[in-house]
């Protein structure tokens, strides 16, 4: 490790269903972890002193930079960012409201784009700046199966398509600085957030439409993240973890 010191793992969106799984996965190791989200009430740190959990608005660039500077000593390295921050949102471009058509809310559009594209960009750019000064590192962004377009998810699909473009651009720009940037694109996983957003009937339909004939297991997504974190020759990739489902 360049210059000695600890090597940190940073996890954004750490309070979500998948984010908490990522925290627990890496907490089994010894590297210090900085877990970030707007709320951290569901992150268990008891008995795990190497986990630091902080509630923060990840779209406020100055606050994120100050937190990174205050929590992580300059002698330490930022080795890995798992950029899982995001917000699933369902809203069609047009919907019937009484006898008239109602357009997608611009307020909701901006909120979804901010949560799924702006916030990940803020975190990734600030972490990359620290990585570049300490010998490089790895960034793994969260895209989605919806990035290619999904009926009823205009804003969410657009944001996730943006994440994939951002991932490939950052990979090209930052590769010479020793920073790899990739993304995972999960399909539908059997986690509380998925079950809260969909009925049992909808989940069964999705499972039946998936060539794997089931929803994904969290361990399978974590395996994909491990692959992207460990393979030094993978850069600018978007790894689908969808069981073969195409929307």
Characterise 6 by phi-psi region: left (phi > 0), alpha (psi -120 to 50), beta (else).
beta
CATH of 7-241, one of 3.10.580.10, 3.30.565.10, 3.40.50.720, 3.40.50.300: 3.40.50.720
pLDDT, tens digit, for every residue of 210-244?
999 999 999 999 999 999 999 999 999 999 999 99
Give the per-residue pLDDT at 1: 40
Contact assessment for residue 164 and residue 180, using Cβ atoms and an 8 Å cutoff = no
Catalytic residue positions, numbered: 156
pTM beyond cutoff 0.85: yes
Dist. CA 239–CA 237, nearest whole Å: 6
* Residue numbers of the chain with a pLDDT score lower than 70: 1-4, 42, 44, 46
Give the domain ranges of the chain. Answer: 7-241
CA distances from 202 to 94, 130, 166, 187, 196 (A): 22, 43, 31, 14, 11
The residues that bridge with 43 in the sheet, in sequence order, are none
Question: What's the token pair of residue 155?
Answer: 């804003």
Give the per-residue pLDDT at 187: 95
Give the per-residue pLDDT at 2: 45
Ordered alpha helix ranges (H), the chain: 17-27, 61-71, 106-113, 119-133, 154-174, 192-197, 200-209, 218-230
Give the per-residue pLDDT at 42: 64
């Amino acid at each position: 490790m360049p210059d000695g010191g600890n090597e940190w793992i940073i996890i954004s969106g750490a309070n979500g269903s998948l984010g908490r799984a990522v925290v627990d996965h890496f907490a089994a190791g010894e590297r210090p972890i900085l877990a970030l989200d707007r709320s951290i009430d569901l992150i268990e740190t008891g008995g795990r002193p190497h986990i630091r959990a902080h509630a923060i608005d990840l779209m406020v660039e100055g606050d994120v930079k100050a937190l990174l500077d205050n929590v992580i000593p300059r002698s330490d390295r930022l080795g890995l960012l798992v950029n899982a921050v995001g917000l699933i949102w369902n809203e069609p471009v047009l919907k019937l409201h009484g006898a008239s058509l109602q357009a997608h809310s611009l307020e909701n559009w901006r909120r979804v784009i901010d949560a799924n594209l702006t916030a990940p960009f803020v975190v990734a750019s600030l972490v990359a700046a620290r990585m570049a000064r300490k010998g490089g590192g790895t960034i793994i962004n969260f895209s989605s199966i919806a990035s290619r377009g999904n009926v009823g998810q205009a804003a969410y699909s657009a944001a996730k398509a943006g994440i994939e473009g951002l991932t490939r651009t950052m990979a090209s720009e930052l590769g010479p600085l020793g920073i790899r940037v990739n993304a995972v694109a999960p399909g539908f996983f059997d986690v509380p957030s998925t079950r809260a957003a969909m009925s049992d009937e909808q989940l069964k339909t999705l499972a039946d439409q998936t060539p794997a004939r089931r929803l994904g297991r969290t361990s399978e997504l974590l395996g994909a993240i491990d692959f992207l974190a460990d393979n030094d020759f993978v850069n600018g990739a978007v790894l689908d973890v969808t069981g073969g489902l195409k929307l």
